[in-house]
Chains A and B, each alone.
Chain A
Amino acid sequence: MKRKLVVIGNGMAGARLVEEILLRGGGERFEIVMFGDEPYGNYNRILLSNVLAGAHDPKDIFINPLKWYEDNHVKLHAGVRVASVDRAARLVHGDNGVVETYDDLVFAMGSSAFVPRMAGTEKDGVFVFRTLDDCDSIIKYTAGRKTAAVIGGGLLGLEAARGLMERGLQVHVVHLMNHLMEMQLDRMAGAILRSTMVRMGLQIHLEKATSEILGNGSVTGLRFQDGGILDCDMVVISAGIRPNTQLAKEAGLTVARGIVVGDDLASPDDPNVFAIGECSEHDGKTYGLVAPLWDQARVLAERLSARRPQATYHGSKVATKLKVMGVDLAVMGDRESSEPDDEEVTYAEAKRGVYKKVIVRDGRIVGAILLGDPAAAPGLVQAFDRGAEVPDNRAELLFQLDAGAANTTRIEDLPDDTQICNCNGVSKGDILGAVRNGVRSLKVLCDTTRAGMGCGTCKKQVECLLEFAAGDSKVEDPSVHYYVPGVPMTKPDLVEEIRARGLKSVSSVFRELASGKEDPASKPGLASLLKTLWAEEYVDERDARFINDRVHANIQRDATFSVIPRIYGGVTSAEQLRAIADAADKYDAKMVKITGGQRIDLLGIKKEDLPNVWRDLGMPSGHAYSKAFRTCKTCVGSEFCRYGVGHSTELGIKIEERFQGIESPHKMKLATAGCPRNCSEATTKDIGAVAIEGGLWEIYVGGAAGARVRKGDLLCTVSSHDEVLHYTGRFMQYYRENGKYLERTYDFLERVGIEKVRAVVVDDAEGIGERLDAAMAASVAAYVDPWKETPHETQFSEALEPRGELVQLRTARAVGER
C-alpha cells in the first residue's frame, strides 16, 4: 500500500521537491497530491520581472505545465487554497471543499508580498508584485500611464522598476533606507548602484517613508512622512516578503519568522510534517533565494524516498548572481565584516559602476560583493563555495581570477562564428541557436551542441553564453551534483549507500539506487567506483566497461586499436625491443611511436589480432587506455646524469610495479626526476617526485600539462623511496575515494585544497591513514594483468559471419526485392 504525500504549495520549492522525489523512484512509494493556489502548473518566479519587462512571454517561464502532473501521476489541486490542516485526523481541507488525507505533509507555501502600513492601498493602480496574476494586472494597468512609483529599493523593487521602465514609463523608486539593496550591499556598493541607475534614467528617493497613497479612487501620487509629495499614475509595492505561516500556526506548529524545522526539515511538533522553501525557518534563518530551496528539496527527497532516510540539512551557503536592470551583480555570504580579524579587500571605480569587495576570514572567503564586473564572479563563487584558501597576495583575488576573461573581449561581444569549443568545432552561433530553441541547462546545452564534450576546458565559456542568452531563465540541471548523471546522488552519498547495501555490481546499483533504470553513460563511472571500493570483491560486468577496457587497447579513429606494452620506468632491453619490432611486423602495425609518456605504441592493430599481439609481446599491458594509473615518466637520475642527486629511474620502476592498473576517477600520469632540473617534468604531473640535495624527495601533487597547465603543489618532503611510495599510494587512494568521475587530480586538488589533502595524507588529521593504506594495498593485491584474462568468446571478432546454414526466406511481399 502506497503512503500518501500531500504537498501544500506548487511553487519553486514544492514542485522541485516532487521532481526530486520522483527522480528517486518515490513514485513507487507515494501517492502524491499537491495544492497550489494559483490555477497554473509550476513557473519560475524569478523570471516574473522579465515578463513585466516584456522580455519573456508568460508561457516561457513555466517549468512544469499541467500535463507534467498528469504524466507523472501527481494529483494537483490547481487554484485551490488550503483552508485548514487537521493534524490529529491527518486531513487537509481545501477552500473548495476538497479533503485529502495524508501520511506525510509538506508545507512549501513560500511567502507573500509585505505591504507596509500606509493609507490608500485599496485604490486602483496599487499593486504588489509576487505572482503571475500580479504581473498581468500591472502590465494591463500601464497602458496609457506615464509615471510609476515603486515602493521598495530592494532586489525585487529594482526588478519591478526595470520592467516598468522597459514599458516606457518614467519610474521613481522610493526607499526607506539610506542605500539601495541594503540586504545584499554595503553602503558603498549601494551608492555606486544608485548612480548607475540614475544614469539609466531612474529617479531614486532614499530615506522616504510613504504615509499615504493619494488619489480619488485611483492613484495620483504619494505623500511622504516628511510632507513631500510625488505625482504618479500607479504604485507597485515591493517592500519585502513575509513567509506564509498562518496555516501552519493554526495547525499548531511552532512558527517563529518561518515554520520552524530541524535538520531533518520536520517540524519539532510532528515528525510527519515538513516545511521547505521560503515559508520555513532552519537554524534561525529564512531564505529568499532559490539555491537553498533546492538544497532543502534534495535533502527532503532523500529522506522521503527512503533512499537516505537519515539525510540532514545544515543550512546553505548563499551565493547569487543577480541581474538588476542590466547591471551585473554577484553577492555571496556576509555583506560586512563582523569578526575583529576579518580582512576586507575592496576596489571601487564609481564612474564605471564597478565595485568589488571580498571579506576574508582565516584565509577563506566569507563574503563578497561584485558590482559591474561579471567576469570575476564565477571564480569567486567557486572559491567561496569550496572554501578554498585565498592567495597571499589578496589583489589576485580581485584581479587574477578574472584575468583570462578581462584580457580578451567579453564573450558576448564576439562575432557569432567564433569557435568556442575547439574540440568539436562548435561556434558561438550554434550555442546561441540552441538556447533560442529552448535549451536552459548547461548539461543539455553541452549534449545538444556537443560543446564542452571534448577536453572540457570551454565549459566556462559555454556557461557564460548560456547566462548571456538565457539570463535568469537558466536552470541548473540537478545532475551536475551527481557522481554520474543516471544515479541521483553525490559521490559521498553514493559511496555510503554502496557500502551500506553491499552493492558490488553496476547492475545492482541501477536496481537499488536508480529505480532499475539503466543509464549507459553512467556505466563506466560506476564500474570504476565499484572497483575502487571493492577491489577483489567487485563483481565485474563487462558491458559496463568502455570498449578500451573490454579489449585492453585504445580505440582509434578508424576502429583499429593501439597497443602499448608496459615498460617499467621507461627502461627497456634489446630483447623487449626485438619482441616489439617483431610484433609490429607480424601484425602490420601502421605506425610505431614513442608516446608522450616514454612508452612504445603500436598503432593500427586490428581488433581480432589483439590477443595474439599480447601473447607475442610477452609483456604486461601498459594501461594506456583506462582511467587508471598510466605511467611513471623518469629521467635517468643519478646513475648516469652528472647532475642527478636521486635514483629516479629505480624509483619510477618501483612506482610503476606497485601501482600498475590502479583504477581512479581519471587517468594518473606520474614522473620522477633525479634533480630539480626536472627533465621528466615531474612538477606538472598528477604526482611527481623530485630529488633534491641531502638525499630528500619532494612530492608534488595536482600538476598538469594537458588541457590546462598547472604546477603541482608540494605535498611533503621525504627521505626515502619507501616514503615516496607510501604517500603516493595514500594520496591516490584519497583521490580515488573522493574525486568526482573524470575529475583530474588538478581539479580535485583545487576543489579540496592542498591544506586539506596534506592534513589527511601526511598528518593523518582524520585518522583514516591506515584505512587508506589498507584499501590501496588491497587494490594492488587484486591486480591481474588484463592481457591474461579470458574474455567473452566473440569479444575480439571484428564482424561475425552468420553461423551454420544460411537460411534465406522469401516472403510473398518481398518478391522483387534483392
Chain B
Amino acid sequence: MTTWNLGPVDRIALGEGRAYRAGEHEVAVFRTRTGGVFATQARCPHKQGPLADGIVGAHQVICPLHAYTFDLHTGCPKNGTCEALRTYEVEVNSAGDVLLHV
C-alpha cells in the first residue's frame, strides 16, 4: 500500500471532482457538498469518459459522456449495465491535504 499526498483539498472545487495522476494511477477525486471525499478510477468503464468532469451529488457521480451513474462508496453503477468503478481509500489529514492510498 502506497500513500500519496495529493495536496490541499480545496484544489477540488466544492461539489466537483478533479483528476490526479499519482504515479501510474489515474484517479478521480470527488469532494461532495456534505464534506465527503471519494476516489475512483479516473475513466468510465463504458467509453472512457472523464469522471472527474461529471456531476456529483449525494455520493454519486454521473459520467459526462453518456450519463452512466455510479455510487462513490462502492463504485457500483446505478443505471445501465456497466462494470463497477474501482474505488480507492482516501482521507483528508489535519493539514487539509488529501491522502490517497493505492
With an 8 A cutoff between CB atoms, is A88 at the interface?
Answer: no
Inter-chain contact A798/B7, CB cutoff 8 Å: no
Interface string of A766-805 (1 = CB under 8 A from B): 0000000000000000000000000011110111111111
User: Of the candidates A541, A555, A792, A800, which one forms a contact with B6 in the assembled complex, judged by CB atoms under 8 Å apart?
Assistant: A800
With an 8 A cutoff between CB atoms, is A818 at the interface?
Answer: yes
Inter-chain contact B79/A447, CB cutoff 8 Å: yes
Q: Give the interface segment out of A28-36, A162-170, A518-526.
A: A518-526
With an 8 A cutoff between CB atoms, is A453 at the interface?
Answer: yes
With an 8 A cutoff between CB atoms, is B62 at the interface?
Answer: yes
Which residues of B51-102 are within 8 A (CB) of A? 53-58, 60-62, 64-67, 69, 78-81, 97
Known A800-B20, A810-B1; judge A521-B62 contact (CB<8 A).
yes
Inter-chain contact A798/B5, CB cutoff 8 Å: no
With an 8 A cutoff between CB atoms, is A86 at the interface?
Answer: no
Cα A817 to Cα B2 in complex, Å, equals: 9
Inter-chain contact B33/A507, CB cutoff 8 Å: yes
User: Of the candidates A520, A524, A550, A803, which one forms a contact with B58 in the assembled complex, judged by CB atoms under 8 Å apart?
Assistant: A520
Inter-chain contact B1/A814, CB cutoff 8 Å: yes
Inter-chain contact A799/B80, CB cutoff 8 Å: no
With an 8 A cutoff between CB atoms, is A811 at the interface?
Answer: yes
> Of residues A520, A523, A793, which shows the largest number of chain B Cβ atoms within 10 Å of its Cβ?
A520
Known A799-B21, A809-B2; judge A542-B13 contact (CB<8 A).
yes
Inside 8 A of A555's CB, which chain B residues have their CB?
50, 53, 64-65
Inter-chain contact A546/B64, CB cutoff 8 Å: yes
Known A794-B12, A802-B20, A803-B11; judge A814-B56 contact (CB<8 A).
no
> Of residues B18, B34, B60, B78, which shows the largest number of chain A Cβ atoms within 10 Å of its Cβ?
B18
With an 8 A cutoff between CB atoms, is A448 at the interface?
Answer: yes
Inter-chain contact B79/A547, CB cutoff 8 Å: no
User: Of the candidates B2, B11, B42, B54, which one forms a contact with A794 in the assembled complex, judged by CB atoms under 8 Å apart?
Assistant: B11
Inside 8 A of A811's CB, which chain B residues have their CB?
1
With an 8 A cutoff between CB atoms, is A408 at the interface?
Answer: no
With an 8 A cutoff between CB atoms, is A216 at the interface?
Answer: no
The smallest C-beta distance from A542 to any residue of chain B, in angstroms, reads: 6
Inter-chain contact B2/A802, CB cutoff 8 Å: no
User: Of the candidates B20, B50, B58, which one forms a contact with A801 in the assembled complex, judged by CB atoms under 8 Å apart?
Assistant: B20
With an 8 A cutoff between CB atoms, is A751 at the interface?
Answer: no
With an 8 A cutoff between CB atoms, is A806 at the interface?
Answer: yes
Whose C-beta in chain B lies nearest to the C-beta of A424?
B66
With an 8 A cutoff between CB atoms, is A807 at the interface?
Answer: yes
With an 8 A cutoff between CB atoms, is A407 at the interface?
Answer: no
With an 8 A cutoff between CB atoms, is A199 at the interface?
Answer: no
Inside 8 A of B18's CB, which chain A residues have their CB?
794, 797, 800
Inter-chain contact A543/B14, CB cutoff 8 Å: yes
With an 8 A cutoff between CB atoms, is A813 at the interface?
Answer: yes
With an 8 A cutoff between CB atoms, is A117 at the interface?
Answer: no
Inside 8 A of A544's CB, which chain B residues have their CB?
15, 55
Q: Is the interface of A mostly helix, strand, loop or mixed?
A: loop
With an 8 A cutoff between CB atoms, is A59 at the interface?
Answer: no
With an 8 A cutoff between CB atoms, is A64 at the interface?
Answer: no
Inter-chain contact A808/B2, CB cutoff 8 Å: yes
Cα A518 to Cα B62 in complex, Å, equals: 13
Cα A801 to Cα B42 in complex, Å, equals: 14
Known A800-B6, A809-B3, A814-B1; judge A795-B79 contact (CB<8 A).
no
Inter-chain contact B60/A542, CB cutoff 8 Å: no
Inter-chain contact A557/B47, CB cutoff 8 Å: yes
Interface size grouping (class) on chain A: 35 or more
Inter-chain contact B57/A519, CB cutoff 8 Å: yes
Inside 8 A of A518's CB, which chain B residues have their CB?
33-34, 57-58
Question: What total of chain B residues lie within 8 Å of the partner, measured CB to CB?
Answer: 46
With an 8 A cutoff between CB atoms, is A559 at the interface?
Answer: yes
Inter-chain contact B16/A543, CB cutoff 8 Å: yes
Inter-chain contact B55/A807, CB cutoff 8 Å: no
Inter-chain contact B5/A806, CB cutoff 8 Å: yes
Inside 8 A of B33's CB, which chain A residues have their CB?
507, 518, 543
Inter-chain contact A448/B80, CB cutoff 8 Å: yes
Inside 8 A of B81's CB, which chain A residues have their CB?
448
Cα A774 to Cα B26 in complex, Å, equals: 49
With an 8 A cutoff between CB atoms, is A449 at the interface?
Answer: yes
Known A450-B79, A518-B57, A521-B69; judge A810-B11 contact (CB<8 A).
no
Inside 8 A of A792's CB, which chain B residues have their CB?
13, 16
With an 8 A cutoff between CB atoms, is A3 at the interface?
Answer: no
Inside 8 A of A453's CB, which chain B residues have their CB?
66-67
Inter-chain contact A818/B2, CB cutoff 8 Å: yes
With an 8 A cutoff between CB atoms, is A436 at the interface?
Answer: no
With an 8 A cutoff between CB atoms, is B19 at the interface?
Answer: yes
Inter-chain contact A521/B55, CB cutoff 8 Å: yes
The smallest C-beta distance from A548 to any residue of chain B, in angstroms, reads: 8
Cα A547 to Cα B67 in complex, Å, equals: 12
Inter-chain contact B79/A805, CB cutoff 8 Å: no
Inside 8 A of A804's CB, which chain B residues have their CB?
5, 7
Inside 8 A of B45's CB, which chain A residues have their CB?
none
Inside 8 A of A547's CB, which chain B residues have their CB?
53-55, 64
> Of residues A507, A546, A799, A805, which shows the largest number of chain B Cβ atoms within 10 Å of its Cβ?
A799
The smallest C-beta distance from B30 to any residue of chain A, in angstroms, reads: 10
Cα A310 to Cα B33 in complex, Å, equals: 32
Known A447-B79, A794-B12; judge A524-B7 contact (CB<8 A).
no
Inside 8 A of A794's CB, which chain B residues have their CB?
11-13, 18
Inter-chain contact A559/B4, CB cutoff 8 Å: no
Inter-chain contact B2/A803, CB cutoff 8 Å: no
Which residues of A504-541 are within 8 A (CB) of B? 507, 517-524, 541
Known A520-B62, A810-B1; judge A448-B47 contact (CB<8 A).
no
Inter-chain contact B6/A802, CB cutoff 8 Å: yes
Inter-chain contact B13/A800, CB cutoff 8 Å: no
User: Of the candidates A424, A802, A808, A814, which one forms a contact with B7 in the assembled complex, judged by CB atoms under 8 Å apart?
Assistant: A802
Cα A768 to Cα B86 in complex, Å, equals: 53
Inside 8 A of A524's CB, which chain B residues have their CB?
55
Cα A735 to Cα B4 in complex, Å, equals: 50
Inside 8 A of B80's CB, which chain A residues have their CB?
447-450
Cα A723 to Cα B77 in complex, Å, equals: 51
Inter-chain contact B55/A520, CB cutoff 8 Å: yes
The smallest C-beta distance from A789 to any residue of chain B, in angstroms, reads: 14
Inter-chain contact A798/B19, CB cutoff 8 Å: yes
Inter-chain contact A520/B56, CB cutoff 8 Å: yes
Known A450-B80, A557-B47; judge A520-B61 contact (CB<8 A).
yes
Whose C-beta in chain A lies nearest to the C-beta of B46?
A450
The smallest C-beta distance from A814 to any residue of chain B, in angstroms, reads: 4
Inside 8 A of B55's CB, which chain A residues have their CB?
520-521, 523-524, 543-544, 546-547
Inside 8 A of B15's CB, which chain A residues have their CB?
541-544
Inside 8 A of A806's CB, which chain B residues have their CB?
4-5
Cα A619 to Cα B78 in complex, Å, equals: 41
The smallest C-beta distance from B54 to any residue of chain A, in angstroms, reads: 7
Inter-chain contact B21/A801, CB cutoff 8 Å: yes
Inter-chain contact A559/B48, CB cutoff 8 Å: yes
Inside 8 A of B21's CB, which chain A residues have their CB?
799-801
> Of residues A507, A519, A802, A817, which shows the largest number of chain B Cβ atoms within 10 Å of its Cβ?
A802
Tell me the A residues contacting B by CB distance below 8 Å. Answer: 424, 447-450, 453, 507, 517-524, 541-544, 546-547, 550, 555, 557, 559, 792-795, 797-811, 813-814, 817-818
In the complex, 17 of the A-B residue pairs with CB atoms within 8 angstroms, ordered by the A residue number, are A520-B60, A543-B16, A543-B57, A547-B55, A555-B53, A555-B65, A792-B13, A793-B11, A794-B12, A800-B6, A800-B18, A803-B5, A807-B3, A808-B3, A809-B1, A809-B2, A813-B1
- The 3 A-B residue pairs whose C-beta atoms are closest, nearest first, are A803-B7, A543-B15, A520-B57
Extra A-B contacts (19), CB below 8 Å, given A544-B55, A803-B5, A808-B3 = A424-B66, A449-B80, A518-B34, A520-B55, A520-B57, A521-B57, A543-B56, A544-B15, A546-B55, A547-B55, A550-B16, A792-B13, A802-B5, A803-B7, A804-B5, A807-B3, A811-B1, A814-B1, A817-B1
